[in-house]
């Protein structure tokens, strides 16, 4: 049975809450209250009936018309049959908030198997289990048992989170920055609807201008990579990946498991075009920064910012440089022009320190933005009632560059600034470090897309190494100095990204024709070490014509080294699959 | 002339604003308005007179009584003489907000020299130049030209910042977390009053319970180290050090210069007992976390937290582990007791995931806190109107452990939670990562004091290597494997921390008697490489009896290695001065 589109989940004609009751404190009753402003019919289902309740979805459909979405508030053992009944009545999607399936372990595995069987039979889409749900404030569709989501405003940013809790925390955090939400969704157990599929769906959603993606678990690495690559061509994706340290035992009890490497997942996302961040606060701030104009794909976008106070400016500059963002010296003509406005005691080669927020601020912004080497311009100031930083941007007439402001000051002043910034369409953050986080997001969005465009080397040879995904995460590494070449090769094998080989070429700048055979030999040995005995023969096929894409990659790495005299190391992570060999990740250092 | 105590700056009997005018938009007029609630006399001085103004400080003293503090709002060239006149009239301290001294370079150096001469002659204390000033909201003393500081409430945390702007940003950030400020001060150019001296002063200030310290520039490394060590015995100090990347050119135009290594300054502060952080937001959050009970000095305090939602809990656990905080498995009796309350599908070995904030939360907090291996207990929840997390702590009756809460949710709910938390004296933060930052601050405050107590090896031999501070920051490093011992020695020489030698002993666990002579030889060669030709002879003296403290350090490092089988490396940074050799920094890895 083919599965239905996510339209029935996110744009349902009618909604039924299964397991509703007359008790106002029960989950079902809370859910019906959350949905009270939904423009279509919302009905409660209880086999025993009750005031305002229907005894079945079929009965409800007869009374109110089509029901596309059912929200199950019945316990795990009753869920599978409830979905079968709903499907017969025409429902094509469902939300399961409760836990007690595979993540609980032991006896609960069987409820998950029953649920999976019902999905296979009916094709019904299932979001969850074990999530607080989803909400589209702009459509008055609040399928979430947390009452206060009614305070969230419609917005441009969609949040896709592995966790219902992180979805809520991220959306409330957006609200504190004056931002609304397009779609906020907690994926939960991901038995059927995955984060990747929602990302594919939102890529086509015009109202979603930026996607914030929180990942605990990757179901299908290559599909996620392709989805991010497709999405970032149209809109920015900011990604937070959990699992830097060992939290597997906890994770198994939540959304299932962490089956692949944190570093690899981040590398893959980054190389597919996403802005990868370290904390949920950075995720939210980066998403806000990206609601404005984007920097076009570039190898190394150049940044500048104007600051009302020197100390916060130094914090911002230090963080930007730590994060690898270039603050080039402004052109001397620009510096001279600024020097005619500012007193000699401030620094204005980049960043531009105005000493304090002065009436000349908008003029300084306008002059700085004239520097043609710049790709993004930020501004920070501690604002008083008399100074609105985004208004300074608007009055400066700078529209050709992506701009970003960050302010600090009393809460009331900041709230007013956010309101005005939203009207003006200029992204606004709070605090010094946040401006650095935001500028870095704009720069990374550009760089990552550049990398994704440049390094997309499609596989050319179909190999028979398809079924490698079966053996589990062993890994092996070695370092072999040979003929003055520093080579580092590492192979890894996991269920999510399949077999990956990481190759690094040292600074000795050996010609590609020399390094390549050594590399290949190493890579082969490593793949052999990782693969099961049965699979060694399959890999054998790679030693012939199928190495062609690897040759390409190695030649390109060697060329990059030659062209970049300061670069000490280039590396690439390749993925070997039935579609050939593709580059998952490559980097300079 | 001996200099006066900072009491005259922070507890003045009367205040004069020099350069006041009848124009309400001028800096002097703004300053007088900021001081309008000050309980003592506040007068404006202008030689030309004017409505409500005095023509000199002396005239004002006759009219209103003693003036301890003068605030100079005259331009740089007029400042030195204004201070001389004020000193004659009895003023013993001053604040200079304006810039245009040494930080401006060129012709401005002479105004700084004139100012320094006036200080030397009169002993008057000078805060600044180039700062927005300071404020003590609890004393209605707002010596700051930013009007909105009147919105800041009195509180337990004092902020000492190199920058007036960062001081303001930090205090507004504290206000957003519902916190007030005891003293907020921007040090500025530090021509006379330094951050170190203010820290020494606040160590004796009962109303200051936590100090947040932002450092761009260290004037005297050993004095700062001693001040932090003394302060942290009484109250926590959180330190943010700027200058991870090269921002020297900008810094010269601000507070002077960045003359020493970012890493070394952080190491020294940490080893003196401070909690070292990476961003101004972490500085503020750590300070708030430390307003509650402290963990006593311990080598490795053990942490746990209870979470209302699994996803945010994983973010918190991942960050804590990344930051090196231990989350030990809870005792099996505790796990069993929790298992009687919680359904089997959640994780509760540590952290304790309650699935969602349930009525049993306070009971779970109470049970978890019974685990005797724990030194700190945190809690996170997305709060609704019906759940107040700090109240759960209070109702749980846990008072023997430091506790810390963090919440997320709608702004109104958070504001109400902050108000209640302040009344209850329980530190409250916002967002998942913030709980990890706060717990880490409590753990680091304990560990750093433990390190400071353990590793205080006072110098015993007076060497004649006193005047090394004259040659500037060259550095040299080498790695020498000898007889199976891995040795890393590095010497550095700068104006702030003088000559430091970093010695690292590898994992090969060579007995001290073997390693020591090799170490000494290396250290000697390095010091020789760093020191000027003239100084080599002085260092020669170190090869004899004066090496005794170094011997002690080396023996202690070797002993530590022996006692800690998992440790791969121990290192120590020593400072050679006329007082002997002291340990600035030592660590295990």
Residue B35 scores a pLDDT above 90: yes
The pLDDT, as a whole number, for residue A522 is 53
pLDDT digits (tens, 9 = 90+) for A240-259: 999 887 776 777 656 544 45
Token code pair at residue A500: 């990956």
- First-to-last alpha carbon distance for chain A, in angstroms, is 49
Phi, psi dihedral angles at B92 (to 5 degrees): -115, -5
The pLDDT, as a whole number, for residue A257 is 46
β-strands B237-241, A42-45 pairing: unpaired
Instruction: With a threshold of 0.90, tell me whether the complex ipTM lies above it.
Output: no
3-class secondary structure, B236: coil
**Residue A245: Cβ-neighbour burial (10 angstroms; 0-12, 13-18, 19+):** middle
Tell me how far apart the alpha carbons of residues A216 and A256 are, in angstroms, rounded to a whole number. 9
Cβ-Cβ contacts under 8 Å between A and B: the total is: 243
pLDDT digits (tens, 9 = 90+) for A403-430: 999 999 999 999 999 999 999 999 999 9
In chain B, the residue whose alpha carbon lies closest to the alpha carbon of A309 is B165
pLDDT digits (tens, 9 = 90+) for B303-327: 999 999 999 999 999 999 999 999 9
Tell me how far apart the alpha carbons of residues A54 and B486 are, in angstroms, rounded to a whole number. 77
Strand partners, A491: A476, A501
Tell me how far apart the alpha carbons of residues A508 and A89 are, in angstroms, rounded to a whole number. 69
Tell me how far apart the alpha carbons of residues A441 and A452 are, in angstroms, rounded to a whole number. 16
Among B250, B353, B357, pick the best mutation site for testing chain A contact (most A Cβ within 10 A). B250
In chain B, the residue whose alpha carbon lies closest to the alpha carbon of A101 is B345
Would the CA dihedral through B518, B523, B524, B528 be positive or negative? positive
pLDDT digits (tens, 9 = 90+) for B404-432: 999 999 999 999 999 999 999 999 999 99
Q: Do B466-588 and B1-126 fall under one CATH topology?
A: no
Query: What string of H, E and C letters represents the secondary structure of B11-78?
Result: CCCCEEEECCCCCCCCHHHHHHHHCCCCCCCEEEECCCCCCCEECCHHHHHHHHCCCCEEEECCCHHH
* CB atoms B253 and A315 under 8 Å: no
B287–chain A nearest CA distance, Å: 17
- Write the Ramachandran bin of A105: left for phi over 0, alpha for psi from -120 to 50, otherwise beta: left
- What residues contact residue A110 under an 8 Å CB cut-off, 6+ apart? none
Confirm or reject contact between B419 and chain A (CB < 8 A). no
Residue from B202, B198, B213, B195 nearest B159 by CA: B213
Tell me how far apart the alpha carbons of residues A11 and A207 are, in angstroms, rounded to a whole number. 13
Among A310, A389, A417, pick the best mutation site for testing chain B contact (most B Cβ within 10 A). A310
Token code pair at residue B387: 């759940």
Is residue B191 within 8 Å of B432, Cβ to Cβ? no
Tell me how far apart the alpha carbons of residues B497 and B576 are, in angstroms, rounded to a whole number. 9
Residue A369 scores a pLDDT above 60: yes
In chain A, the residue whose alpha carbon lies closest to the alpha carbon of B149 is A410
Which CATH code is given to the segment(s) B303-441? 3.40.50.261
B:206-235 residues touching chain A, CB 8 A cutoff: 214, 216
Confirm or reject contact between A2 and chain B (CB < 8 A). no
Confirm or reject contact between B500 and chain A (CB < 8 A). no
- CA distances (Å), A526 to each of A466, A519, A574, in order? 17, 11, 13
Tell me how far apart the alpha carbons of residues A321 and A327 are, in angstroms, rounded to a whole number. 8
Give the nearest partner residue to B280 out of A309, A313, A432, using CB atoms: A432
Is residue B343 within 8 Å of B456, Cβ to Cβ? no
A345–chain B nearest CA distance, Å: 4
* CB atoms A314 and B164 under 8 Å: no
Would the CA dihedral through B439, B441, B442, B447 be positive or negative? positive
Strand partners, B479: B488
Report the pLDDT averaged over residues A118-147.
95
Q: Which residue has the tokens 């200051």?
A: B208
- CA distances (Å), A184 to each of A94, A192, A242, B380, B396, in order? 16, 18, 19, 21, 34
Tell me how far apart the alpha carbons of residues B96 and B112 are, in angstroms, rounded to a whole number. 12
- CA distances (Å), B210 to each of A93, A492, B287, B293, in order? 54, 48, 6, 11
The pLDDT, as a whole number, for residue B69 is 98
Give the nearest partner residue to B346 out of A253, A412, A432, using CB atoms: A253
Q: Which chain B residues are closer than 8 Å to A213 by Cβ?
A: none
Token code pair at residue A581: 């060999």
CATH architecture of B1-126: 3-Layer(aba) Sandwich (3.40)
The pLDDT, as a whole number, for residue B158 is 98
Tell me how far apart the alpha carbons of residues B133 and B184 are, in angstroms, rounded to a whole number. 8
| More confidently predicted of A146 and B244 | A146
Q: What fold does the segment set A303-433 form as a domain?
A: Rossmann fold (3.40.50)
A:382-401 residues touching chain B, CB 8 A cutoff: 382, 384-385
pLDDT digits (tens, 9 = 90+) for A429-454: 999 999 999 999 999 999 999 877 75
Strand partners, A477: A490
β-strands A42-45, B133-136 pairing: unpaired
pLDDT digits (tens, 9 = 90+) for B102-126: 666 677 788 999 999 999 999 999 9
In order, the DSSP letters of A360-425 are: THHHHHHHHHT-TT-SEEEEEEE--TT--HHHHHHHHT--SS-EEEEEES-HHHHHHHHHHHHHHT
A:75-104 residues touching chain B, CB 8 A cutoff: 99-100, 103-104
Most confidently modeled range among A483-497, B270-284, B503-517, B548-562: B270-284
In order, the DSSP letters of A159-201 are: EEESSHHHHHHHHHHHHHTT--EEEEEE-TT-SSS-HHHHHHH
Residues A460, A461, A465, A470, Cα dihedral to 10°: 20
Give the nearest partner residue to A311 out of B146, B161, B314, using CB atoms: B161
**Domain spans of chain B, in order of start:** 1-126, 131-291, 303-441, 466-588
Residue B270 scores a pLDDT above 50: yes
Arithmetic mean of pLDDT over chain B: 81
Give the nearest partner residue to A165 out of B148, B254, B312, using CB atoms: B312
B459–chain A nearest CA distance, Å: 36
* Chain center to CA of A521: 36
The pLDDT, as a whole number, for residue B571 is 61
Tell me how far apart the alpha carbons of residues B111 and B107 are, in angstroms, rounded to a whole number. 8
β-strands B303-307, B376-382 pairing: parallel
Number of helices (H), then strands (E), in chain B = 20, 23
Residues A124, A130, A136, A141, Cα dihedral to 10°: 70
Query: Percent of chain A at pLDDT above 70?
Result: 72
Among B30, B170, B311, B430, pick the best mutation site for testing chain A contact (most A Cβ within 10 A). B311
Confirm or reject contact between A432 and chain B (CB < 8 A). yes
Confirm or reject contact between B311 and chain A (CB < 8 A). yes
pLDDT digits (tens, 9 = 90+) for B3-31: 789 999 999 999 999 999 989 988 899 99
Q: Which chain B residues are closer than 8 Å to A412 by Cβ?
A: 151
Confirm or reject contact between B164 and chain A (CB < 8 A). yes
- B443-456 b/e (C-beta count within 10 Å ≥ 16 → b): bbbbbbbbbbeebe
- For chain A, give the number of residues: 589
Is residue B185 within 8 Å of B198, Cβ to Cβ? yes
Tell me how far apart the alpha carbons of residues A329 and B88 are, in angstroms, rounded to a whole number. 47
* Chain center to CA of B71: 26
Q: Which residue has the tokens 């969602």?
A: B356
User: pTM of this prediction?
Assistant: 0.84
Q: Which chain B residues are closer than 8 Å to A161 by Cβ?
A: 311
* Superfamily, domain A131-291: Succinyl-CoA synthetase domains (3.40.50.261)
In chain A, the residue whose alpha carbon lies closest to the alpha carbon of B431 is A169
pLDDT digits (tens, 9 = 90+) for B291-300: 999 999 998 9
Query: Percent of chain A at pLDDT above 90?
Result: 58
In order, the DSSP letters of B313-367 are: HHHHHHHHHHTT-B-PPPPHHHHHHHHTTS-TTS--SSSEE-SS--TTHHHHHHH
Residue B450 scores a pLDDT above 80: yes
Q: Which chain B residues are closer than 8 Å to A190 by Cβ?
A: none
* CB atoms B347 and A146 under 8 Å: no
Is residue B138 within 8 Å of B157, Cβ to Cβ? no
Token code pair at residue B72: 């100079």
Query: Percent of chain B at pLDDT above 90?
Result: 57
Confirm or reject contact between B438 and chain A (CB < 8 A). no
Confirm or reject contact between B342 and chain A (CB < 8 A). no
The pLDDT, as a whole number, for residue B546 is 47
Is residue A164 within 8 Å of A133, Cβ to Cβ? yes
Arithmetic mean of pLDDT over chain A: 81
Tell me how far apart the alpha carbons of residues A408 and A420 are, in angstroms, rounded to a whole number. 15
A:359-378 residues touching chain B, CB 8 A cutoff: none
Residue from B142, B127, B448 nearest B271 by CA: B448
* CB atoms A166 and B312 under 8 Å: yes
The pLDDT, as a whole number, for residue B313 is 95
Tell me how far apart the alpha carbons of residues A200 and A213 are, in angstroms, rounded to a whole number. 12
Helices B411-424 and A164-176 sit at what angle, rounded to 10 degrees? Answer: 90
Q: Long-range CB contacts (< 8 A, 24+ apart) of A119-123? A: A119/A3, A119/A83, A119/A191, A119/A192, A120/A1, A121/A1, A121/A84, A122/A1, A122/A83, A122/A84, A122/A87, A123/A1, A123/A2, A123/A3, A123/A4, A123/A87, A123/A92
Tell me how far apart the alpha carbons of residues B443 and B297 are, in angstroms, rounded to a whole number. 9
Is residue B516 within 8 Å of B483, Cβ to Cβ? no
Confirm or reject contact between A319 and chain B (CB < 8 A). yes
Confirm or reject contact between B131 and chain A (CB < 8 A). no
Give the nearest partner residue to B165 out of A309, A385, A433, using CB atoms: A309
Which CATH code is given to the segment(s) B466-588? 3.30.470
């Amino acid at each position: 049975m083919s599965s239905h589109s996510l339209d029935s989940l996110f744009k349902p004609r009618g909604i039924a809450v299964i397991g509703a009751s007359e008790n106002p404190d029960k989950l079902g009753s809370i859910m019906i209250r959350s949905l009270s402003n939904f423009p279509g019919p919302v009905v409660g289902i209880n086999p025993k009936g009750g005031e305002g309740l229907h005894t079945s979805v079929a009965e409800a459909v007869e009374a109110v018309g089509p029901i596309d979405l059912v929200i199950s508030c019945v316990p795990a053992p009753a869920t599978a049959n409830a979905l079968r009944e709903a499907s017969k009545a025409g429902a094509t999607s469902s939300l399961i908030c409760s836990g007690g399936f595979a993540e609980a372990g032991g006896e609960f595995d069987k409820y998950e198997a029953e649920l999976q069987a019902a999905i296979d039979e009916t094709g019904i889409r299932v979001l969850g289990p074990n999530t607080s749900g989803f909400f589209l404030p702009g459509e008055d569709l609040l399928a979430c048992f947390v009452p206060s989501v009614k305070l969230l405003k419609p917005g441009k940013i969609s949040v896709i989170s592995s966790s219902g809790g992180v979805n809520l925390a991220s959306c409330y955090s957006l609200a504190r920055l004056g931002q609304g939400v397009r779609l906020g969704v907690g994926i939960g157990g991901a038995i059927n609807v995955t984060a990747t599929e929602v990302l594919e769906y939102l890529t086509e959603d015009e109202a979603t201008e930026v996607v914030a993606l929180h990942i605990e678990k990757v179901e299908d690495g290559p599909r996620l990579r392709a989805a991010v690559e497709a999405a970032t061509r149209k809109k920015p994706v900011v990604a937070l990946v959990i699992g830097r340290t060992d939290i597997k035992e906890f994770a198994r009890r939540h959304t299932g498991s962490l089956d692949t490497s944190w570093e690899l997942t981040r590398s893959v996302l980054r190389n597919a075009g996403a802005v990868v961040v370290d904390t949920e606060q950075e995720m939210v701030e980066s998403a806000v920064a990206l609601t404005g104009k984007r920097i076009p794909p570039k190898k190394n976008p150049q940044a500048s910012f104007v600051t009302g106070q020197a100390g916060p400016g130094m914090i911002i500059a230090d963080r930007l440089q730590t994060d690898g963002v270039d603050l080039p010296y402004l052109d001397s003509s620009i510096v001279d022009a600024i020097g005619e406005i500012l007193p000699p005691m401030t620094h204005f080669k980049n960043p531009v320190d105005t000493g304090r927020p002065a009436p000349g601020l908008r003029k300084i912004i306008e002059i700085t933005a004239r520097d043609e080497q710049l790709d993004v311009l930020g501004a920070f100031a501690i604002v008083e009632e008399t100074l609105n930083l985004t208004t300074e941007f608007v009055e400066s007439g700078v529209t050709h560059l992506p701009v970003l402001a960050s302010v600090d000051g009393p809460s009331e002043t900041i709230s007013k600034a956010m309101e005005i910034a939203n009207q003006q369409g200029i992204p606004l953050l709070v605090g010094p470090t946040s401006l650095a986080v935001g500028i870095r997001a704009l720069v990374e969005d550009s760089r990552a897309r550049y990398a994704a465009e440049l390094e997309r080397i499609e596989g050319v040879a179909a190999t028979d190494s398809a079924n490698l995904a079966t053996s589990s995460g062993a890994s092996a590494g070695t370092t072999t100095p040979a003929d003055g070449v520093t080579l580092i090769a590492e192979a890894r094998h996991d269920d999510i990204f399949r077999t990956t080989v990481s190759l690094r070429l040292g600074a000795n700048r050996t010609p590609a024709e020399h390094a390549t055979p050594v590399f290949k030999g190493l890579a082969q040995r490593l793949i052999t070490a990782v693969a099961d005995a049965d699979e060694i023969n399959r890999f054998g096929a790679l030693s012939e014509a199928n190495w062609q894409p690897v040759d390409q990659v190695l030649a390109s790495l060697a060329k990059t080294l030659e062209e970049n005299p300061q670069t000490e190391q280039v590396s690439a992570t390749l993925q070997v699959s039935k579609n050939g060999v593709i580059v998952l990740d490559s980097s300079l250092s």
